[in-house]
Amino acid sequence: MTQNFAAVVIGGTGQVGGAAVAELLAVPECREVVMITRKPVGARSRVRNVVVDTGAADFAGRVAEVAREVLKQGAASAVSCVGVGSGSMKWSEEELKRLELGVVGAFARSCHDAGVAQFCLLSAVGSTAKSRFRYVRVMGMKEDTVRSVGFRRLAIFRPGIIVGNAHTPAMAGWLGSLVPGKYGNIDQQVLGRSIAAEVALNSQETGEVVLENAAMKRLAGQLGR
């Protein structure tokens, strides 16, 4: 396990992001979680909140500055849990792209430029830029955008139906329990724990790994909680 690591997180105020932050903080070796947010969040031990306007011209520069400062204290990884959730159907494709490609892409490039070597990206099952379905297509484009940045270690998380999430209708969770494999259910806490496990255990690994439901469950189990 990486000793004395930190994580710079965007999207940490969302459902999955909140689970990931909580699981990171549950790892004793995590010295700090730095949350990049648009609005202030409540104070917590070992959590530092940096408020940045994602639409501002200096967004990328601010993120790079924060990442460089965090790296001076020791090992650090970057995590993106940005997602629209149940509201995605109300967004146009261009609006989705501005968030998922524009904001996440700028965050990734800034962290990489600052020297961060490991990036964890929340995506969705079946994501591909060639999909006929808008959301899946944009998720695939997001993956390609971050992939092109060139991190030494890139972990892409592709959950199926996320249960324990306020945005997941009960009926969807019930149906997901009947679907085996990557399109079925994964508990939100397990998903968050798998992200924490990737940061804590695999920061020195190289290459890209794509994690679907079964792989995320196995990875989460490696934290022993």
Query: Which residue ranges form the domains of the chain, and what is each CATH number?
Result: 5-221 (3.40.50.720)
How far apart, in whole angstroms, are the C-alpha atoms of residue 180 and residue 191? Answer: 17
pLDDT tens-digit map of 17-32: 999 999 999 999 999 9
- 6: Cβ–Cβ under 8 A, 6 or more apart, which residues? 30, 31, 32, 33, 34, 70, 73, 74, 75, 76, 77
**pLDDT for the residue 174:** 44
According to DSSP, residue 49 is labeled: E
pLDDT tens-digit map of 121-180: 999 999 999 999 888 999 999 999 999 999 999 999 999 988 865 555 555 444 545 566
Q: What average pLDDT does the chain have?
A: 90
Q: Are strands 47-51 and 76-80 parallel, antiparallel or unpaired?
A: unpaired
Longest dimension (CA), the chain: 48
How far apart, in whole angstroms, are the C-alpha atoms of residue 84 and residue 89? Answer: 9
Name which of 91, 65, 159 is nearest 121 in CA terms: 159
pLDDT range class, residue 210, cuts 50, 70, 90: very high
Nearest 10 degrees: CA dihedral of 85, 147, 41, 56?
Answer: -100
Q: What single-letter amino acid sits at 123?
A: S
Burial (CB count within 10 angstroms: exposed 0-12, middle 13-18, buried 19+), residue 45: exposed
